[in-house]
Chains A and B, each alone.
Chain A
Amino acid sequence: MYVAVKGGERAIDNAHRLLAHKRRGDRSVPEVTLDQISEQLGLAVDRVMSEGSLYDRELAALAIKQARGDLIEAIFLVRAFRATLPRFGASEPVDTGAMRVERRVSSTFKDIPGGQILGPTFDYTHRLLDPALAEGFVPDAPATAEAPTAPTPRVTDILGRDGLIESSPQAEDGAGIGDLTREPLNFPAERDLRLQNLARGDEGFLLAMGYSTQRGYGRNHPFAGEIRFGEVEVEFFAEDAGFAVPLGAIELTECQMVNQFKGSATEAPCFTRGYGLAFGQSERKTMSMALVDRALRARELGEEALAPAQDEEVGMSHSDNVQATGFVEHLKLPHYVDFQSELGLLRKLRQEFADANAPDAMKEAAE
């Protein structure tokens, strides 16, 4: 029998009211503004945009504020918001080679055209807590130097000229571009879908998967060929205007992983690649993404695929933290009826066990 249970509305309303109060915290402390979150907690905003899969700093900041700093909850809010807007279409693919670079490092070549540019980085800091930041810290104005006019080509393009690295796969004529927000994911998945999945995947999950390949579970011998961060221009082909209109610029981080080489009787050996791309300054995310992208190419490259990071279904089915949190956290919702039926069954089994093992069981059976 199914019994509908109602009730709890008042408790729920009051719980949300209490949540709003707790979110505000001590009311003698000034309220945090969206600008403050966007400007001073910028990397949290970048992560929420990346994994929320929606580039909008202001919305991401609002989500972080609403979620009390719980970034997965904020990502959930952003994902839900994007479902409320119509889609105008898809942009022209962005050109990361034309990026206005704010950071660009290579661990493979010291002297790359355009140079090693550190930009705003935590690298080489001592990771000591800085008490000066606790209050009223005014940083020095940034140093300046004459900006070079020479372009900063992608390191992989330089290696590619000599054929030392495989070239990027080009689109086949008439091939569509997979979109997992429109069609359910099927396996095996092509690289476009895999990259879309990884781009919105949980940073912690990808970090662990990438790390596992380094520790030997699907080793692929990576070098950080190049990591670059900066602004790229976005264009969108507008049907009404009849040409690709500029929309403005977004910040992106790109990681080109250069991996172990392969060759065959018919092909000269060359380095293979893994690719990472994400909104904002998301270096750990894009490095992890590139490691996992490369690991997921095991099948294509004829490698033995035994490790979790090489398994599409393991990786792509569990990378999305909104899906994962939904399924894990639904366990706390009422399962009273489910549980009652389990309980009933268990009581019955226990009774049967008790009956079968009672000292007079044999006698009862005889009667």
Chain B
Amino acid sequence: MKLSIIIDNFGAASSVNQVAQHNNQKAQRKAAMAVLAHAEAGEIAARLRDLALDLPLPEHQDLRQPENGLVMLRGRVGGDGAPFNLGEATVSRAAVRLASGEVGFGYTLGRDGEKARLIALCDALVQSGDFSAAVERGVIAPLREQLMIRRERAAAETAATKVDFYTMVRGEG
């Protein structure tokens, strides 16, 4: 009986739940970062300011000051084969800790340390039970919508350049 472990063993059951919750939260943090990395620092800051009007943000401090560095970008031979080093990119990173203990990490292409710090703060807030829903509603969701609008516009402009082939029919007789 596969289920018996969970039903009979409370300890195992709760650890399975914890793992599921952990994975869930990781996916949520990653989804938030995927939006934030595409936003400008000013946009994130403005959304956070608006959010703070309704719900004062918790005390927080820099766990790692924003720092600029390089990441070697990798491609794959033929697009799907063995990896190779393509060239580097500038990356900024930071880490922020909330007074309540949650630690958030911020990584972004480019050299905007303030943006990395804001992403780290948002990442910490996403992990905080009290702020997770609010930061999703007030910061991530609107930025995601803007990003989607930009992408849809670009996709529509691209689509207009798609070639429609037609066959020339030779006249009969």
A interface residues (Cβ-Cβ under 8 A, vs B): 49-50, 53-56, 58-59, 82, 85-94, 96-97, 100-103, 110-111, 115-120, 142-148, 154, 156-157, 167-172, 175, 177-181, 191-193, 195-196, 199-200, 233-234, 236, 238, 240-241, 243-250, 252, 254, 256, 273, 275, 277-279
Contacts and interface: CB of A to CB of B under 8 A. Distances in A.
B2 interface: no
Given A87-B71, A101-B158, A250-B73, A277 B80 contact: no
B165 A102 contact: no
Contact of A90 (B30, B69, B85, B93): B85
Interface in B65-93: 67-91, 93
Given A118-B163, A119-B161, A196-B85, A55 B78 contact: no
Contact of A145 (B34, B73, B123, B160): B160
B33 interface: yes
Nearest to B26: A243
Contact of A234 (B68, B79, B89, B163): B89
Interface size class of B (residues with CB under 8 A): 35 or more
Interface in B147-164: 151-163
B24 to A, nearest CB: 13
Interface stretch (B12-20, B102-110, B128-136): B102-110
A143 B160 contact: yes
B48 interface: no
Contacts of B84: 177-178, 191-193, 195-196
Nearest to B34: A246
Contacts of A247: 37, 71, 89, 91, 107-109
B83 A144 contact: no
Interface string B113-157: 000000000010000000000000000000000000001111111
27 contacts: A49-B87, A54-B87, A59-B111, A86-B69, A87-B70, A88-B70, A91-B89, A92-B74, A94-B73, A100-B155, A116-B162, A143-B157, A147-B158, A156-B79, A168-B82, A177-B82, A191-B82, A196-B86, A234-B109, A236-B91, A238-B105, A243-B29, A245-B30, A245-B107, A246-B30, A247-B108, A275-B77
A88 B93 contact: yes
The residue among B71, B87, B90, B110 with the most chain A CB atoms within 10 A of its own CB is: B87
Contact of A146 (B34, B79, B105, B159): B159
Contacts of A278: 86
Given A87-B71, A191-B82, 14 more contacts: A55-B90, A88-B93, A89-B72, A91-B73, A103-B158, A117-B159, A143-B161, A144-B153, A144-B160, A172-B82, A196-B84, A234-B89, A247-B107, A279-B86
Contacts of B165: 110-111, 116
